Every structure is written in structure tokens, then in C-alpha cells.
Structure 1
Amino acid sequence: MRRFAQTIRLRPEHREEYLALHSAVWPGVEAALHRARIRNYSIHLHDDVLFAYFEYHGEDFDADMADLEADPVTQEWWKLTDPCQEPWPDRGDSRQWTELAEIWHLGEPGEHAAD
């Protein structure tokens, strides 16, 4: 399992729209995320900064993300959510969100940080 953290800015003028969309995420979007082996996905908000966390439970992240990006329901969802977001200028090769490096993780008791 790999943990991912990401961030992006929320455009203030789209705040209510974005929150409304995420109060009832489409079942097809959730199904596509599950097919892509994404688990424990959450999005948090502070002022106009969004922070996302998810766990990937597959073996070929790039292939699973390609399948997710090709999913027609997900593409329709992104047509609504992408205009609400303002990517950070240093996002690199990321489609939209900037990935954050994990610098520390507290695991289960007895689990070592390197595990």
C-alpha cells in the first residue's frame, strides 16, 4: 500500500459549488476510484487550500491512473470540479493536484517508520 497526499487551491468564487459537488459525489466516480484501487480517500479544506489523502492498494499505479483518467464518468466529474480548482504553479507533471512528499508517518504500534 502506498500513501499519497496532494494539495491544490480552491477558487473562492467556486467554493459553494465545489462543496455541493462533494456533499454527494457521484456513485460512478466512487466506483471508478475503487476500480483504480484507491482506498481511504479524503479531501480536507483550510481557507482556500484543499488537501487530499488516499491510499493506493494496487501493483501498477500508472496503469490504474490511466484507466481512471479514461473513465467517462470521471471525465464528466472533472469537467465540473477542475474549474473550481487552481493548481499550484509547481505541480510538475501532475494533471491537476500537486503531490506532497511524505516526511513522517506514525504506523501501528510495533511498526517501524520505514515499513
Structure 2
Amino acid sequence: MRGDRMSKLEGRLVLVVEDETLVAMLVEDTLLDAGARVLGPVATVAAALALVEKEVPDVAVLDLNLAGETSEPLADVLTKLGVPFVVASGYGQAGVPARYSGVPVLAKPYAPEELTAALGRLGN
């Protein structure tokens, strides 16, 4: 089963937006182990938007609260571009704005397998 989830991420470009360095490193390692290509990780909306202007990811994982800055403007851009994303939040579903109620949420802390499974279910 694990191999099946990993194959769904093989070669896919995943944008990682996370302001906690250790979490960002774990996410990056998990994605690389799953065969994904990683865009980032970055810790600010401005940095993420700059990356997306250069290369549009296949999927993304977003922390909504970046040291007090909301990543909602980035979520809006990804939505307009048709890029599916997962929200990683210490607040769980309660911390997600209503307009993103259909977006999968990973409540922190989450296991690496939960991340790869959630991303593997998004788009192609």
C-alpha cells in the first residue's frame, strides 16, 4: 500500500510552504523519498508567489499561518491556477477559512504517511 501512495507522487512537483524549519525539512524529505520533486520549501507568501511565477506546481502543501502571516493569498492564486493543495494546520479544520472548506486538512502534528496519502489523492 505504501508503494502505491508513493507512486502517485513520482515525478510530481510539490510546492511546500511551511515556516517551521524542522517541519519543512521533514516534509521535504518525505516528498523526496516518495519520488516527488520539491518546489521550496519556503516560509513566506512572497517567496512562494515568486516560485509559482517561475514554475507552476502540480500540487502544494500549505501552512495557513506563517509566523502571523496568512497564506490565503497564495491559496487564492493556486486555486485560480487550478493547483490542488492540502492545508497543514495546527488548528485543524477549524482554522481553515470557509471558502476552503473542501480542501483536505492535515492537522499538525501529522505522520509522513498522512502527507503522502493526502497529496497522492489530489489531481493527477
After TM superposition, the score normalised by the length of structure 1 is 0.28
Quick check: which one's helix share is greater?
2
Higher RCO (CA-CA < 8 Å; seq separation 6+): 1
Quick check: which one's strand share is greater?
1
Larger-Rg structure: 1
After TM superposition, the score normalised by the length of structure 2 is 0.27
